[in-house]
Amino acid sequence: MHPGKAAPFKTYHFFYIIILMMKKILIASTLVLLPIALALLPLLLPIILVYGLSAINLRIGYSKMFCSGPQPTVKDQILRNMESRGLPVPMWLKRPSKTCNP
């Protein structure tokens, strides 16, 4: 063994101990937190469902509120103005906007 080189066991022994400690902490915290989570599940599940469904419902409501009217967007008005003046409008500008998806 050269005097300047450390043995691989000594080099990695510290990290091996840290990984073992992390595994033990993970197992211990799982054993402590899992029963608490299972006990709170009947209370938290309805709240999560209500918030999730209301968020979906709000998203649908907002899209209907902003998208249901026949008002043309600024982009549509500019394109119509360009076409009425006889200016060529590129095809990539004629694509429908993706901002309003009901």
pLDDT digits over 22-60, tens only? 999 999 999 999 999 899 988 888 888 888 777 776 766
Q: Domain boundaries in the chain?
A: 10-69, 70-102
pLDDT of residue 50: 85
Between 31 and 93, the more confident residue is 31
pLDDT at 13 over 70: yes
pLDDT of residue 75: 82
pLDDT averaged over every residue in the chain: 77
pLDDT of residue 68: 59
Amino acid, res. 83: E
* Contacts (Cβ under 8 Å, ≥6 apart) of 75: 93, 97
* Contacts (Cβ under 8 Å, ≥6 apart) of 60: 102
